[in-house]
Structure 1
Amino acid sequence: MGNLLPRKYLKKIVNIRNQYKFITSFISTATLSGFKLFLVTVLAVYIANSTLAPQYFELLTTHFSFSFGTHTFSMSLQQWINDVLMALFFLVVGLEIKRDMLIGELSSPKKASFPIIAALGGMIVPAIVYLSINQTHPTGFGVPMATDIAFALGILMLLGKRVSLSLKVFLVTLAVVDDLGAIVVVAIFYTSELHYDFLIYSLLTYFVLMIFNYFNLVRVLPYLFVGIFLWIFIHSSGIHSTIAGILLAFVIPLKAKNTTVEEIEEHNSKSPLLRVEQALHNFSAFIIMPVFAFANAGVELDFASVIENKTIVLGVFLGLLIGKPIGILASTYLATKFKISEKPSNVSWAEILAVGFLGGIGFTMSIFISTLAFDDPHIVSAVKIGIFASSISAAIIGVIFILIIGKKETQKEFLEGLKSDK
C-alpha cells in the first residue's frame, strides 16, 4: 500500500517518538539516581557526625599525585573527585545539551523559548535575593542558582500519575538550561588567577579537537585522548577544570558524514555523540554523583557556624526557596504576557509554580558551587546546612502544591463527569 503519509510527516513522527524515548529514559535514570543520592547523603552526614568522622575527613584530605613531564599534579581525594569526576559529569551534561539543541526540546525557538526563559528567571532572581542580603560576601551568589535534576525528577516520579509527562519534560528541559547557566557562571566568576601560557596550550588543544570535528572524525577515542590534555591544560591555566568536560562535548559530532537524523535515531551506534552519552550516562548518574555526594555532603551539624554566617546561609536559603519559584513563574508569565514565548497548553500556571519550588532543590550542584565560592571551611559547612534546609523545604512545598493541584483536577473531572451523565 506504501506510505499513507508524506515523508515530512513521517519524519516528524519519528522525531517525536525518539524524543519521547530519550526523555523517558532520562527521567527513569534520574529518578533512580535521585534515590541513591538521598541514601548516600544521609550516610555521609551520619558518618561526619559519628565516631568515624576523623577517618572520613582524613581520607578526603589525603593527597594523591602524578607527574606529567616536569609538571606534577597533587590534589586531595576530594579535589580529584570535584575536578576530575565532575569534569566527566559535565561532559555528559554537555552532550545532553548539544543533543537537545540539535534534535531535542531545544531544537526550535518555539520549543526552547519557554524553558530557557524559565531557567534564566530561576537563576537571576535567586542571585538577586542572595546579593540583596550579602553585599559583604558576594561570591556566594552562584550557590542558589543551581537545580539538582536527579532529586527534583525523583520527587516528580514518586507522585506518579499526578504529574503529566509534559510537566516532567518542562522540568528536564529547564534543568538542562540551568546546568548550562551553572557552567557559564563557574567559568566566568569562579576562575582563579589565570596562567596565560597554559591558557594558550588549552586553546591550541581545543583547535585540534575542532579540526577533528571539521573533518567529521567519528571515532570517539581521539576526542577522549586529546580531551585529557585539554583537562590538564585548563586545570593548570587557573580556569576550573570541569569546563573541559563541556568544551569537549561541544566538539563531538552528532552524526557521521552522509548519515541522516532518522538513521541516528533508529541506530544510535551511528552517532559518536550518542555513543559517548550512553556509555557515560549511567556511570555519571550512579557512580560520579553518589561519589561526589559522599565526598561533599558529609558536614558536621555545627549550628554555631550557621549563626556566625547567618546572612550567607539566609541568602542561600531564601534564594533557593523563594527566589527559584518566583523567578521561574514571574519570568515565564511576563514572557507569555508580552508574547515573547508561549506556555504549553497542557501545563497550568499552578504546575509551573510547583516546578519552581522543585527547582529550589539545589543540593549537589549548589554544594559544588559552594566549594568554589568560599575558601573558609566553616562557611562552606554552614552553607551546606542551608542548602540541605532549603532543598528539603522546597521539596515539601513543591509536593504539597502538586498534590493540591492533582486533587482539584480530580474534583473537576468528577464534576464534569456528573454533568455529562445528566
Structure 2
Amino acid sequence: MLSRGSWAETSRVTELLRQETVGGALLLVAAVVALVWANSPWESAYTSLKELTVGPAALHLDLSLASWSADGLLAIFFFVAGLEVKREFVAGDLREPRRAAIPVLAAVGGMAVPAVVYVLVNLVAGSVALQGWAIPTATDIAFAVAVLAVISTHLPAALRTFLLTLAVVDDLLAITVIALFYTRALEPLWLLLALVPIAAFGVLVQRRVRSWWLLLPLAFVAWALVHASGVHATVAGVLLALTVPVARSQAAGGPEAGPGMAEHLEHRLRPVSAGFAVPVFALFAAGVTVGGLTGLREALTDPVALGIVAGLVVGKAVGIFCSTYLLSRFTRAELDDGLSWIDVFGLAVLAGIGFTVSLLIGELAFGPTSLRDDHVKIGVLVGSVVAAVLATVVLRARNRVYRAICVDEERDDDADGIPDVYQS
C-alpha cells in the first residue's frame, strides 16, 4: 500500500503540487485580506464590492461579483479538477483498480464520516441545520500543500501521490454532492439544452481542435445554460472536462506527437485556476465579521459551526485513516517500506483542511450574507486551522524519516535523469 508508483507519475505529481503550493500561498493571502478587510473600518466597502452587480440582465446573468466568483470562477477550478480525475483514471497509475482502491475508499470514508459527525452534532438543531451536512466533507489541496510548504516537511513520493489523488477523488465526489443535493428549482429543458454545446465542445476536443475562439464560447454557453437550469453552474466545468481526450495525439505511423488535449488544457488553465480563480473566490467568500472574542464564542456555540469543526478535525481524520486501515486488514496489504500508520494518520488530519469547496457548499446550504452563513465561515476557518496545526505536529515529528526516504528517491548515480530507485 502507498507505494511510490512510476517515475512519470511521481514527477508529474511533484510538478502539480509545486503549482498548487503557489496557488495555496495566494489563497492564504486572499483569505487573510478578506478577514482583515471585513473586520476593519472599511467593511462597508468590502460588502459593496461583493454585492456589485455586473452582467446582462436580459440573460439573467446580472450577478454580484461574489456570485460570479462562486458560480463562474469555480467552474474553472472544477474543469481542471475534472481533467485531473479523468487523466488519473485513464492514463495515470489509478487506471489499475488495485492502486485506485486506496484513494477512492479513503476519499469516500473521508466524506462519509465527517457528514455523520456533523449530523450527530446538529440533531438537536432541527432540519434546517442538517442541510449543511456536506460542508465538512471537502479537502482543499491548495491550502494543504501550502501548509506543507510552510512547515518544510519532505513528504515521500508515495505520500505526495496519495494526498493529491485523495483530493482529486474528493473534488469529484464534492461536485456530485453539489449536483444531487444542492440543486433547487430544476429546469430540465435548460439542462437538456446545455447538452448541445457540451456535445459540440466534446466533438471539437476529440478532433484535437485547440482554437480558443471556438472552445471558449461553447464552454460559456454550456455554463450559462447549466446555470439557468438550477443546477450549480460549476457542474458544467466537470461535464466539459469529461469530454476531453486524455491520450496523446499520434503522428501517422510515428511516435507520440505531443501532449494530449487534457494535458494541454490542464497546462493552460491550472495557473488560471490556482493563481486567480480560487484566490478571488476566497477574497469574496472568506470575509466574515467575527466581532472579536465575543463574536467568535457566539459563533462557536452554534451547532452548525461546532459540527463543521468536529467534522473537519475528527471526522476527516477518522474517516480516511480507518478506511485505509480496514482496507489493509481485509486485503492483507502492507505499507510501503519506510512508512508507518502514523504517516497515514498525519495525512488524514491534513485532509481536514477544507476551505474552498466547504465555503461554497456553506453558501449553497444556508444562503450568502445570512447569520448562519457567517457561522459556517467561522467554523470552516477554525476547523481548517486546527487541522493544519495538528497535522503540522504529526508530520514534523516524522520529518527526519521523510528526509532519509527523499535522499534515496533523489539519488541518480548513473546521471540519466531518472532516480535509481525507479529503475531497480
With structure 1 as the length reference, what TM-score do the two structures score?
Answer: 0.86
Structure 1 residue 332: deviation in Å? Answer: 0.8
Call closer, same or farther: CA 1:115–1:193 in 2, change over 3 Å. same
Aligned residue number for residue 132 of structure 1: 120
Cα deviation code 1:124-176 (max 9, x no counterpart): 00000001122321111111000110111122233445422221111111111
Tell whether the 8 Å contact from 2:153 to 2:396 is kept in structure 1 after alignment. Answer: no
State the identity %: 34
Letter aligned with residue 115 of structure 1: P
Task: Measure, in 1, the Cα distance between the counterparts of 2:315 and 2:209.
Answer: 43
Call closer, same or farther: CA 1:159–1:338 in 2, change over 3 Å. same
Aligned residue number for residue 417 of structure 2: none
Structure 1 residue 278: deviation in Å? Answer: 0.7
Q: How many residues align?
A: 391
Give SS of 1:73's match.
Answer: coil
Letter aligned with residue 50 of structure 1: S
| 24-33 vs 325-334, which moves further | 24-33
Task: Measure, in 1, the Cα distance between the counterparts of 2:48 and 2:150.
Answer: 37
Aligned residue number for residue 417 of structure 1: none
Structure 1 residue 339: deviation in Å? Answer: 1.0
Task: Measure, in 1, the Cα distance between the counterparts of 2:65 and 2:74.
Answer: 13
Letter aligned with residue 378 of structure 1: L
Letter aligned with residue 307 of structure 1: E
| 313-322 vs 109-118, which moves further | 109-118
* Aligned 1:350-369 pairs, distance under 5 A: 350-369=342-361
* Equivalent of 2:191 in 185, 199, 216: 199
* Aligned 1:8-407 pairs, distance under 5 A: 16-66=6-56, 71-135=59-123, 136=126, 137-160=129-152, 162-212=154-204, 216-221=207-212, 222-255=214-247, 258=250, 267-268=258-259, 271-302=260-291, 303-304=294-295, 307=298, 310-339=302-331, 343-375=335-367, 377-406=370-399
Cα deviation code 1:161-207 (max 9, x no counterpart): 54222211111111111111111111111111111221221233333
Call closer, same or farther: CA 1:342–1:248 in 2, change over 3 Å. farther
Call closer, same or farther: CA 1:90–1:407 in 2, change over 3 Å. same
Tell whether the 8 Å contact from 2:132 to 2:366 is kept in structure 1 after alignment. Answer: yes
RMSD: 2.5
Call closer, same or farther: CA 1:296–1:409 in 2, change over 3 Å. closer
Letter aligned with residue 43 of structure 1: V
Tell whether the 8 Å contact from 1:306 to 1:383 is kept in structure 2 after alignment. Answer: no
Task: Measure, in 2, the Cα distance between the counterparts of 1:86 and 1:165.
Answer: 29
Tell whether the 8 Å contact from 2:105 to 2:324 is kept in structure 1 after alignment. Answer: yes
Task: Measure, in 1, the Cα distance between the counterparts of 2:51 and 2:353.
Answer: 28
Structure 1 residue 47: deviation in Å? Answer: 0.6
Structure 1 residue 80: deviation in Å? Answer: 0.8
Structure 1 residue 304: deviation in Å? Answer: 4.1
Structure 1 residue 59: deviation in Å? Answer: 0.9
Task: Measure, in 2, the Cα distance between the counterparts of 1:394 and 1:267.
Answer: 41
Cα deviation code 1:317-375 (max 9, x no counterpart): 00000000000011111111111866444432101100011001112221111111112
Call closer, same or farther: CA 1:34–1:207 in 2, change over 3 Å. closer
Task: Measure, in 2, the Cα distance between the counterparts of 1:220 and 1:110.
Answer: 38
Cα deviation code 1:218-273 (max 9, x no counterpart): 4353443322111111000000000000110010122366469x966x833xx221
Tell whether the 8 Å contact from 1:320 to 1:361 is kept in structure 2 after alignment. Answer: yes
